[in-house]
Amino acid sequence: MSPLDDFLLRAVLAGTGVALVAGPLGCFVVWRRMAYFGDATAHAALIGVTLALATELPVVAGVALAALAMALTVSLATGRTYAMDTMLGVAAHGALAAGLVALSLLPGVRVDLMGYLFGDILAVSRSDLLVIWAGGALILALLVWRWRGLLLATLSADLAAAAGIAAARERLVLTVALALLVAVALKVVGALLITAMLIVPAAAARAFAPTPEAMAVVAAGIGAVASAGGLAASFRLDSPAGPSIVVAAVVLLLLANGIAAVARRGGGRGAGRG
């Protein structure tokens, strides 16, 4: 019996895999104020699921395609007629509702709706694990490869341009990475909670990090701890795993800010502000 036969170990590995990628990517989501954008992208996942089930495409591929299409559409359309947050709100909730309707219209398919909305980490299979870790590695490689350009473009599009880096191209890299993450993380935390895995660990890491790189690494670590902690809590309390992981991450965020506040009062110059 291989250790991977244990569903709990598979769940831990799946959660860790997603957390290690969501942490660094989530930092950009936080720095660039893309939380709503993340929602819109993630909520398109249900449309992708429908697409995949209707065409017998792998679910991961359908979700990645739908998320990417949504992300590209939204980034092209923002700022035209409505304010950004209005536009993104329409896209996020519209996509969610459309996905739910489309799924219900699929003839003869019984789907685990709760699983798609909140994740089904305890049902992660070996092939799911492979997808999560391979996809995660791809996203991380993309981030590492473009790191300097991504940071410069995030700081200032003009600074990036002067250094020969097109900010629009870097934004596209992030958009693609985000769509991939949605596809990879759907099984673990579900469409509704993916954004939480992006922004909560990153926000928690802010208090302890002097540099962007440190923040990315700490966010990955906090995410991994949250996923293990959430799973443990879920096992004991018999609570749903995905939401438990997010609750664990929020608890870590509160702890982090508490510790940072105490450290600041203690006379040390804390890195955290605001």
Query: Which residues form the interface with another protein (CB under 8 A)?
Result: 30-33, 148, 151-152, 154-159, 161-164, 167, 202-203, 206, 209-215, 271, 273-274
CB of 267 to another protein, least distance (A): 16
CB of 82 to another protein, least distance (A): 17
DSSP category for residue 111 = -
Query: Nearest-CA neighbor of 209 among 196, 197, 219?
Result: 219
- Say how many residues make up the chain: 274
Give the nearer residue to another protein in terms of CB position, either 26 or 99. Answer: 26
CB of 206 to another protein, least distance (A): 6
Give the nearer residue to another protein in terms of CB position, either 165 or 184. Answer: 165
SS3 of the chain: helix, strand, coil, percent, to 5: 80, 0, 20
Give the nearer residue to another protein in terms of CB position, either 101 or 214. Answer: 214
Separation of alpha carbons 53 and 60, rounded Å: 11
Q: Which residues contact 274 (CB under 8 A, 6 or more apart)?
A: none
Give the nearer residue to another protein in terms of CB position, either 104 or 211. Answer: 211
**Is the separation of the CB atoms in 189 and 245 below 8 Å?**
yes
Looking at residue 171, its amino acid is: R
Give the nearer residue to another protein in terms of CB position, either 166 or 262. Answer: 166
Give the nearer residue to another protein in terms of CB position, either 107 or 210. Answer: 210
Query: Nearest-CA neighbor of 248 among 186, 187, 200?
Result: 200
Return phi, psi of residue 210, to 5°. Answer: -85, -20
Give the nearer residue to another protein in terms of CB position, either 154 or 234. Answer: 154
- Ranges of beta strands (E only) in the chain are none
Tokens of 256: 């982090």
**Is the separation of the CB atoms in 24 and 137 below 8 Å?**
no
**Is the separation of the CB atoms in 191 and 96 below 8 Å?**
yes
